[in-house]
Structure 1
Amino acid sequence: MDLKTQKRMASDIMDVGKDRVWIDPDEQEKVDEAITRNDIRNLIEGGAIQKKDEKGTSKGRAKHIKKQKKKGRRKGQGSRKGKKGARKSDKKKWMEKIRAIRERLKEMKEEGEVTSEQYRELYDMSKGGFFRDTKHLENHVANKLE
């Protein structure tokens, strides 16, 4: 039995590729007799012709690798590609740094460690890139107030 035509029609009706058309081996005689598209539609409704599930790419390995990387594995020198700045851009680094400094500055102002005038001066200094990190800011404040 050559069911090529029936398979082609079924794939067209179900809007899938020919490889995804499944014909029930027990119903092959019925399918062979089907010559019109309407016959094929009836066989699809009857379950003699079905569409196979789409094959996808398994995410199992990818999930495992992601979990390992979250723990800090698989990130050594041999796994890296691109420059240092390709992994975390200069802008991202700056954003992280300035947000931490500004947050600490706000805390210092609320705790009364610096006045509003000092806060504004330190804020402007941090915007200009004067401080390396929050510790540098704290040391600067401690030394300036002495």
Structure 2
Amino acid sequence: MDLKNQKRMAAEILKCGENRVWIDPDKIEDVAECITRADVRTAIASGVIKAKPKSGTSYGRIRYAKGQKAKGKRKGPGSRKGTDNARVPDKRRWISTIRPIREELKQLRADGKITPSAYRLYYRRAKGGVYKNRRNLRMHMINAGHLKEEEEN
């Protein structure tokens, strides 16, 4: 049975797409006899014709991906769009390098482990980018003989 017209009319009345129109499979003969809009409205009122619910977007995959990214996964070269500088600007990278080094220098000076002149020397070198991290700074100090306590350990 061709119910194209009935489906079209029902879609207009229900204000939905034709794909969302549901016709009761047991009452197909009754729907086939619905010729006018009034007949279709009656069928809708009696529950023979209904609008299927809208199907939403499943967020399951998105939630999974977010969980993976929270663990630090999915960040390889194939997932990267910007340059390294766009992802972590040079300034941010420099800040995260220099702050701990300067903190270490201040702590060593405050504890009296290095002289103020040594502090100034290493501060200037740190500013010039000589040291990669705290450990690298301490190694340089020990090798130069500026850090006495560390040599004995």
TM (norm. structure 2) is 0.58
Partner of residue 62, structure 1: 62
Identity over aligned pairs, percent:
48
Structure 1's 33 and 82: CA in aligned 2 closer, same or farther, altered over 3 A? same
Cα offset for 1:89? 5.7
Partner of residue 33, structure 1: 33
**Residue aligned with 2:30, SS:** helix
Partner of residue 139, structure 1: 105
**Mapping of residues 96-107 of structure 1, within 5 Å:** none
Partner of residue 144, structure 2: none
Letter in 1 for 2:13: I
Inter-partner Cα distance in structure 2 for 1:47 and 1:88? 59
Letter in 2 for 1:133: R
Structure 1 residue runs of 4 or more that deviate by more than 4 Å after TM superposition = 88-91, 140-146
Question: Where does structure 2 lack aligned partners over 5 or more consecutive residues?
Answer: 117-153
Inter-partner Cα distance in structure 2 for 1:19 and 1:139? 71
Partner of residue 53, structure 2: 53
Inter-partner Cα distance in structure 1 for 2:89 and 2:44? 55
Larger Rg: 2
Residue 76 in structure 1 maps to residue 76 in structure 2: yes
Cα offset for 1:13? 0.8
**Residue aligned with 1:132, SS:** helix
Inter-partner Cα distance in structure 1 for 2:54 and 2:86? 36
Partner of residue 23, structure 2: 23
Structure 1's 61 and 23: CA in aligned 2 closer, same or farther, altered over 3 A? same
**Residue aligned with 2:50, SS:** strand
Please report the RMSD computed on the Cα atoms of aligned residues, expressed in angstroms: 2.9
**Residue aligned with 2:22, SS:** strand
Cα offset for 1:68? 0.8
Deviation track 1:68-99 (CA, whole Å, cap 9, x = no partner) reads 110111212332222123335679x49xx6xx
Structure 1's 75 and 33: CA in aligned 2 closer, same or farther, altered over 3 A? same
- Larger mean Cα displacement after TM superposition, 80-89 or 70-79: 80-89
Partner of residue 14, structure 1: 14
Letter in 2 for 1:5: N
Question: Where does structure 1 lack aligned partners over 5 or more consecutive residues?
Answer: 101-130
Inter-partner Cα distance in structure 2 for 1:53 and 1:90? 51
Cα offset for 1:43? 1.2
Inter-partner Cα distance in structure 2 for 1:88 and 1:3? 60
